[in-house]
């Protein structure tokens, strides 16, 4: 689908934290110009992955590249960071700087600074310019971090839970900004727990569970491939018939069963009909349903 070269790529990326494999062989490809949503439960390995991409922690194994440069090479990592706008999970600033001073200070580092984006973010995020950065609420902190990342004229944005603490109006502004930046050709990779916002603006999704990518695809393709299949039998549901066919668990209610299927829906339907199913229905599913079935399993 995407023929564009990957801006971010990872193969078998690993990171051990204590006794836990925080990232356990992650494969990832984020095509140029895409908006990729990085999804997973708490502790799935999202932040650790992002820290490795940004050169803040070294992988224990595997390979990661951004703009073709190795992420674990110090000099290359500086070159990566020059072209990458980053919003960390914990939004921290120099506490005694005012918002205005923080912006002026950051601007000085980036010759590509975008005054138009600075103005747009100031206007739409309604940031209090005179307030000390250390006294910002969580949401205001997120907004300031976004302003600084969006205005620096980057080629790639890596955002770790950028909408954390934002109110619905600010989230809408954020989504509009992301779409506009993608329209300018920037590549955007962001982690989120808000499936709806991901569903709205992302063309790629990477779903990570226990340190591994369990789904990494174009969102359109996922929506085309995944179907909820509902089956009704004249008698009891022959549950064993469906072992290993679906994603997640077979849900049985009386003589009916439903199952999320990735891909060969017809094969499942044929098998059900052969076993005497009286009714087989397919329904499209939302990203939320895909998420719940894919990572919601036995924990």
288 counts as binding other proteins under rule CB under 8 A = yes
Bridge pairing between strands 226-232 and 61-66:
unpaired
259 belongs to the binding site for other proteins (CB under 8 A): no
CB 268 within 8 A of CB 277: no
Sequence-separated (6 or more) residues with CB below 8 Å from residue 54: 71, 77, 80, 81, 84, 86, 158
Q: Could you say which of 196, 264, 267, 276 contacts other proteins (CB under 8 A)?
A: 196
Q: Is 201 in the site for other proteins (CB under 8 A)?
A: yes
**Cα torsion for 37, 43, 49, 55, to the nearest 10°?**
130
Among 68-76, 78-86, 110-118, 215-223, the segment contacting other proteins (CB under 8 A)? 215-223
- Shortest reach from residue 233's CB to other proteins, in Å: 17
6 within 8 A of 29, measured Cβ to Cβ: yes
Quick one: which of 220, 267, 270, 273 contacts other proteins (CB under 8 A)? 220
Q: Give least dist CB 7 to other proteins, A.
A: 14
CB of 140 to other proteins, least distance (A): 22
Q: How far apart are CA 87 and CA 161, in angstroms?
A: 8
What token pair was written down for 262? Answer: 């990735």
Q: Which residues, in sequence order, are bridge partners of residue 38? A: 191, 206
156 part of the interface to other proteins, by CB under 8 A: no
Instruction: Encode 233-249 in three state secondary structure.
Output: CCCCCCHHHHCCCCEEE
Q: Is 35 in the site for other proteins (CB under 8 A)?
A: yes
179 lines the binding site for other proteins (CB under 8 A)? yes
> What is the C-alpha separation between 105 and 109, in angstroms, rounded?
7
The least CB distance from residue 100 to other proteins, in Å, is 28
Indicate the residue among 43 and 296 with the shorter CB distance to other proteins: 296
The torsion angles phi and psi of 46, rounded to 5 degrees, stand at -65, -50
Interface residue with other proteins among 60, 72, 124, 203 (CB under 8 A) is 203
Supply 298's token pair: 């036995």
Residue 262 β-bridge partners:
226
Binding mask 268-287 for other proteins (x = CB under 8 A): -------------xxxxxxx
* 34 counts as binding other proteins under rule CB under 8 A: yes
The residue whose two tokens read 């005694």 is 96
Q: Residue 57's CB: how many other CB atoms inside 10 A? A: 18
Phi, psi of 276 (to 5 degrees): 100, 10
Q: How many residues of this chain bind other proteins (CB under 8 A)? A: 29
Q: Which is nearer to other proteins, 102 or 293 (CB)?
A: 293
Tell me the per-residue interface mask from 119 to 138 with other proteins, x by CB under 8 A, - otherwise. --------------------
Instruction: Please identify, using beta-carbon distances, which residue of 87 and 175 lies nearer to other proteins.
Output: 175
Chain residues in the site for other proteins (CB under 8 A): 33-35, 172, 175-176, 179-180, 182-183, 195-196, 199-203, 219-220, 223-224, 281-288
């Amino acid at each position: 689908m995407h023929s564009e070269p990957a801006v971010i790529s990872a193969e078998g990326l690993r990171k051990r934290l204590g006794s836990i494999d925080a990232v356990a062989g992650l494969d990832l490809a984020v095509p140029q110009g895409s908006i990729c949503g990085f999804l997973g439960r708490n502790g799935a390995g999202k932040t650790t992955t992002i820290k490795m991409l940004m050169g803040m922690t070294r992988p224990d194994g595997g390979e990661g590249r951004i703009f073709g440069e190795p992420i674990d090479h110090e000099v290359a990592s500086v070159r990566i960071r020059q072209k990458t706008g980053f919003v960390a999970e914990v939004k921290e600033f120099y506490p005694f700087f005012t918002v205005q001073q923080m912006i002026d200070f950051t601007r000085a580092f980036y010759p590509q600074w975008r005054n138009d984006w600075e103005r747009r973010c100031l206007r739409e995020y309604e940031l209090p310019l005179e307030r000390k950065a250390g006294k910002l609420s969580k949401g205001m902190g997120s907004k300031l971090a976004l302003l600084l990342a969006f205005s620096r004229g980057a080629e790639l944005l890596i955002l770790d839970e950028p909408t954390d603490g934002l109110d619905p109006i600010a989230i809408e502004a954020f989504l509009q900004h992301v779409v506009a930046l993608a329209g300018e050709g920037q590549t955007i990779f962001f982690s989120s727990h808000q499936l709806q916002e991901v569903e709205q603006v992302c063309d790629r999704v990477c779903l990570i569970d226990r340190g591994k990518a369990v789904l990494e695809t174009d969102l359109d393709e996922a929506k085309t491939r995944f179907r909820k299949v509902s089956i009704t039998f004249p008698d009891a549901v022959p549950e064993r018939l469906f072992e290993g066919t679906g994603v997640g668990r077979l849900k049985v209610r009386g003589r009916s069963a439903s199952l999320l299927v990735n891909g060969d829906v017809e094969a499942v339907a044929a098998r059900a009909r052969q076993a005497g199913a009286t009714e087989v229905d397919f329904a499209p599913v939302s990203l939320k349903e895909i998420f719940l079935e894919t990572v919601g399993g036995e924990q």
